[in-house]
Chain A
Amino acid sequence: MRREIPLIITGVVGVGFLIQYFIPHAPFSYMSDWFSDWFSIVGACAIVLGALNLLKISAQKAIKRKKDWVYSLVIIASFLLIVIVGLLEGKDFRVAGTNFDWLYNYMYIPLSATMFAILAFFVASASYRAFRARNFEATLLLVAAFFVMLGRVPVGDVISNFMPEGWRLSNLASWVMNYPQSAGQRAIMIGIGLGIVSTSLRVILGIERSHIGGGK
């Protein structure tokens, strides 16, 4: 029974959510809204499991004095700090001027914005390494990137100033973006669409079932 019931639930629910698209009448018209709400609520419950897992693993590391165990204590402390502050703050925890807002603005934002921003460096080192005309495919990648990169900043037009209006690097970049780039994106998108339809169908029909796990 541990595998049958989940399979049946998946199949029935899957078909239900598939046909709701064609039926404007209630209750089908509400189904996707309902699912969104249900998913939000389930997500809010499930994060308890995730948080406990994080705390458990960090605590184990600290107790067993594994390498770098001090940092595990930092994880636990900063988790508890923001959770306690946030829960005490009440439902308006995001309002400017609260303690939570301070933690958000002066700790969370600098951290996540900087983590995002160091991409600038990784993108440079990746291009330095990856953009080598190793074979024909790599050369195409390199050439397209080169034109777009130059064409998208004013410098590009300064360099190509000798060309007639409409043929400068910025126009070329736009052309590459509009046509060959679009074509490739479109092929990828149609492919993804077919892949998703096929995978969804396999899941609904119960052919692909590893997500259910095993056991009796």
Chain B
Amino acid sequence: MSTKAKEILTLALIVVFCLVFYIRKVSGGEGIIFSPLVSWLVIAAMIISLLWVLVLTIKGRLISRRVVFVYVGIALALPLFMPFSQKIPISPEVQALYDSVKTLKPGSKVLISFDYDPPSAPELQPMAESFIRLCFERDLKVIIMGLWPQGPQQANMALEKVLSDDKMKAKNLKYGEDYVNLGFQTGNEFVIQRMGTSFESMFPTDYRGTSYDSLPLVRNVKNFSNIEYSFNLSAGFPGSVEWVQIAVDRYGVQLGLGNTAVQAPQMYTYLNAGQVTGILGGMNGGAEFESLCHYKGKATKYMLSQSFSHMIVIAFIIIGNVAYFLSGRKSALKKK
């Protein structure tokens, strides 16, 4: 069969697969979950095939990029159907963040800045949800804003999720009194700088168009000195670096960070220098925070996929090095 024919066949199979499952979903089909036996079989099959790849490599046949891609895809997708759960160890920087929130008195005002957009939501949305949940549980007042245009929409999604919980419904939380969403403002780090003198000048209205003055929660909040704690969910610029440099360094704000795992390493210098109280790094940080808050959210659910994908990457690094050493450090292996 020619390559072209193979490609068309594969494409057709994918289309059929999608159609079958889509029709199944539309007609009310439930999600799929593997039984433990099947799960173990899948894992065993993956290990055996990896060993096979190792054998091939030792024999001198290097695998192509595409094979690596297929393995990564499988390692990320299949664990979502497995019924296992795992214990999550808590790292000190997550504990520190949780503790610093716990020491706040009920009624304290917490400013949460949503500085990310949907592409980074898989990592940051679970943190947002569990942080807001924690604030509400401890009767803290939540003020939301965004330096990224799509941030406040993400905040609304998180709020909706948290408030739909029965425990939260019982608290009878009111918009404007217990939480408020000030919306998005352009100007990147300059927004933070100007908030140092006046919140109202940057957010004359909230995202619904209600004027700042008529929101009881923020009416008396002039600037950072009226905020007890702030939390920044950040996926890049403008984000944590700007919050630390301006809000912390210039206005002495107490700041906690929720970062994508890419950004997190850079933030450890700030943690060390005492500029931030704690860091949630990546989906793992989110899962740790969820377990501190005794809540099973999406971060916890996805941790299995996460672990699997790490194992796959590590496996390939080992395979790559085995091949490298067996080839007598020939530079021929350097490319592909």
Do A and B touch each other in the complex, judged by CB within 8 A? Answer: yes
- The yes or no answer to A128 lying at the interface (CB within 8 A) is yes
Within 8 Å CB of B268, what residues of A? 177-178, 181-182, 185
Q: Which residue of A lies closest to B184 (CB)?
A: A94
Which residues from 64 to 98 on chain B have a C-beta closer than 8 Å to any C-beta of chain A?
65, 68-69, 71-73, 76, 86-89, 91-93
A121-B68 in contact (CB<8A):
yes
Within 8 Å CB of B92, what residues of A? 174
- The yes or no answer to A47 lying at the interface (CB within 8 A) is no
B190-A132 in contact (CB<8A):
no
Of B91, B149, B321, the contact of A131 (CB 8 Å cutoff) = B321
Q: How far is the CB of B53 from chain A (nearest CB, A)?
A: 11
Q: How far, in whole Å, are A117 and B303 apart by their CA atoms in the complex?
A: 17
Q: How far is the CB of A180 from chain B (nearest CB, A)?
A: 11
Within 8 Å CB of A185, what residues of B? 265-266, 268-269
Which residues from 122 to 139 on chain A have a C-beta closer than 8 Å to any C-beta of chain B?
123-125, 127-129, 131-134
Which residues from 150 to 185 on chain B have a C-beta closer than 8 Å to any C-beta of chain A?
153
Known A36-B187, A153-B284; contact A128-B68, beta-carbon cutoff 8 A: yes
Instruction: Tell me which of A80-88, A142-150, A206-214 binds B.
Output: A142-150
Within 8 Å CB of B187, what residues of A? 36-37, 40
Within 8 Å CB of A154, what residues of B? 86-89, 303, 307
Q: Which residue of A lies closest to B85 (CB)?
A: A154
A146-B317 in contact (CB<8A):
yes
- The yes or no answer to A32 lying at the interface (CB within 8 A) is yes
Known A37-B187, A155-B311, A185-B269; contact A133-B324, beta-carbon cutoff 8 A: yes
B314-A146 in contact (CB<8A):
yes
Which residues from 115 to 172 on chain B have a C-beta closer than 8 Å to any C-beta of chain A?
118-120, 149, 153
- The yes or no answer to B320 lying at the interface (CB within 8 A) is yes
Within 8 Å CB of B69, what residues of A? 121, 124-125
Within 8 Å CB of A174, what residues of B? 91-93
B272-A178 in contact (CB<8A):
yes
Q: How far is the CB of B120 from chain A (nearest CB, A)?
A: 8
Q: Which residue of B lies closest to A179 (CB)?
A: B272
- The yes or no answer to B312 lying at the interface (CB within 8 A) is yes
Within 8 Å CB of A127, what residues of B? 313, 316-317
- The yes or no answer to A109 lying at the interface (CB within 8 A) is yes
Known A132-B320, A153-B284; contact A125-B68, beta-carbon cutoff 8 A: yes
Q: How far, in whole Å, are A128 and B307 apart by their CA atoms in the complex?
A: 17
Within 8 Å CB of B310, what residues of A? 149-150, 152-153, 155
- The yes or no answer to A113 lying at the interface (CB within 8 A) is yes
Q: How far is the CB of B214 from chain A (nearest CB, A)?
A: 20
Which residues from 100 to 126 on chain A have a C-beta closer than 8 Å to any C-beta of chain B?
109, 112-113, 116-117, 120-121, 123-125
- Of the four ranges (under 10, 10 to 19, 20 to 34, 35 or more), the interface on chain B belongs to 35 or more
- The yes or no answer to A68 lying at the interface (CB within 8 A) is no
Q: How far, in whole Å, are A214 and B87 apart by their CA atoms in the complex?
A: 64
The SS class assigned to the B binding surface is helix
Q: How far, in whole Å, are A132 and B331 apart by their CA atoms in the complex?
A: 11
Within 8 Å CB of A149, what residues of B? 310, 313-314
Known A32-B193, A33-B194, A181-B268; contact A132-B88, beta-carbon cutoff 8 A: no
Q: How far is the CB of B166 from chain A (nearest CB, A)?
A: 26
Q: Which residue of A lies closest to B262 (CB)?
A: A119
Q: How far, in whole Å, are A33 and B91 apart by their CA atoms in the complex?
A: 39
Q: How far, in whole Å, are A33 and B187 apart by their CA atoms in the complex?
A: 9
B190-A32 in contact (CB<8A):
yes
Within 8 Å CB of A131, what residues of B? 317, 320-321
- The yes or no answer to B108 lying at the interface (CB within 8 A) is no
B313-A157 in contact (CB<8A):
no
B89-A170 in contact (CB<8A):
yes
- The yes or no answer to A168 lying at the interface (CB within 8 A) is yes
Which residues from 226 to 274 on chain B have a C-beta closer than 8 Å to any C-beta of chain A?
261, 265-266, 268-269, 271-272
Q: Which residue of B lies closest to A185 (CB)?
A: B269
Within 8 Å CB of A134, what residues of B? 324, 329
Q: Which residue of B lies closest to A174 (CB)?
A: B91
Of B186, B188, B261, B312, the contact of A124 (CB 8 Å cutoff) = B312
Q: How far is the CB of B332 from chain A (nearest CB, A)?
A: 13
Q: Which 6 A-B pairs have the closest CB atoms?
A: A36-B190, A113-B119, A116-B119, A128-B316, A155-B307, A132-B324
What are 24 contact pairs spanning A and B, CB under 8 A? Answer: A32-B193, A33-B194, A40-B186, A109-B119, A113-B119, A120-B72, A121-B73, A124-B316, A125-B68, A125-B69, A127-B313, A128-B316, A128-B319, A132-B333, A152-B261, A152-B284, A153-B284, A153-B306, A155-B307, A168-B89, A170-B91, A185-B265, A185-B268, A189-B269
Since A36-B188, A133-B324 are in contact, a sample of 16 more A-B pairs with Cβ atoms closer than 8 Å, ordered by chain A residue number, is: A33-B194, A36-B187, A113-B118, A116-B120, A117-B119, A121-B69, A124-B316, A131-B317, A132-B333, A134-B324, A149-B314, A155-B86, A178-B272, A182-B269, A185-B265, A186-B269
Interfacial residues, chain B to chain A (CB-CB below 8 A): 65, 68-69, 71-73, 76, 86-89, 91-93, 118-120, 149, 153, 186-188, 190, 193-194, 261, 265-266, 268-269, 271-272, 281-282, 284, 303, 306-307, 309-314, 316-317, 319-321, 324-325, 329, 333, 336
